[in-house]
Amino acid sequence: MRYILAISLLFMSFSCSNTTEKGRMINSQKLSHLISQKDKTLVYIWTTWCSGCRKTLAETLPRLQENIDTSEYQILLIAASKNKEEVDSLVSASGLQINSWFLDFTGSDKGVFQNLGIQLLLKKNFPNNDIFTRAIPVFFLADKNGKVLNKKLPHSYDDVMNVIRRNN
């Protein structure tokens, strides 16, 4: 009887955490919906093992969050990582006050599986744009209709702000 109770409790804890995680998984429909919420969206696809991603997450994105017109722009973070605790820790440490999403992909947390997941997501949403060059991070600007305004945003704050000014 104890075993049945223990297994039931274990199953319930997995199913509860899985529901929360599924709510933060992004697919092409959810990406399209989120992009349509603001005039322009800065989409940042990153992973935990990428030092450039960590730097942009810690330095550039918090400054952008403080200085962009949030009535017109939003920042959308998509982590191509299965390490949810590390993702949440890095986002929290950066001080970003935005939702963070997870890319659902099959396979290991590094390499070809992440690349395929990113490629599939972007091809479904932006079929006529070669946004992903198999390099992580992916940082681009799209309007609310899904038109890509800038395929490869720079990673420095000043350079991104120059692109934003040109697209106003």
The 10s digit of each residue's pLDDT in 104-118 is 888 877 778 898 999
Residue 21 binned pLDDT confidence (cut-offs 50, 70, 90): low
What is the rounded average pLDDT for all residues in the chain?
Answer: 86
Side-chain-facing half-sphere of 138: CA atoms under 13 Å: 23
Rounded CA-CA distance 103/16 in Å is: 19
For the purposes of burial, counting CB atoms within 10 Å of the CB of 142, is it exposed (0-12), middle (13-18) or buried (19 or more)? buried
Q: What Rg value do the Cα atoms of the chain yield, rounded?
A: 17
The domains found in the chain, sorted by start residue, are 24-166 (3.40.30.10)
Cβ contacts of 106 within 8 Å, gap of 6 or more: 113, 117
Identify whether the C-beta of residue 149 lies closer than 8 Å to the C-beta of residue 142: yes
Rounded CA-CA distance 162/154 in Å is: 10
- pTM for the model: 0.85
Residue 3 binned pLDDT confidence (cut-offs 50, 70, 90): very low
Q: Range with the lowest mean pLDDT among 12-16, 34-38, 79-83, 141-145?
A: 12-16
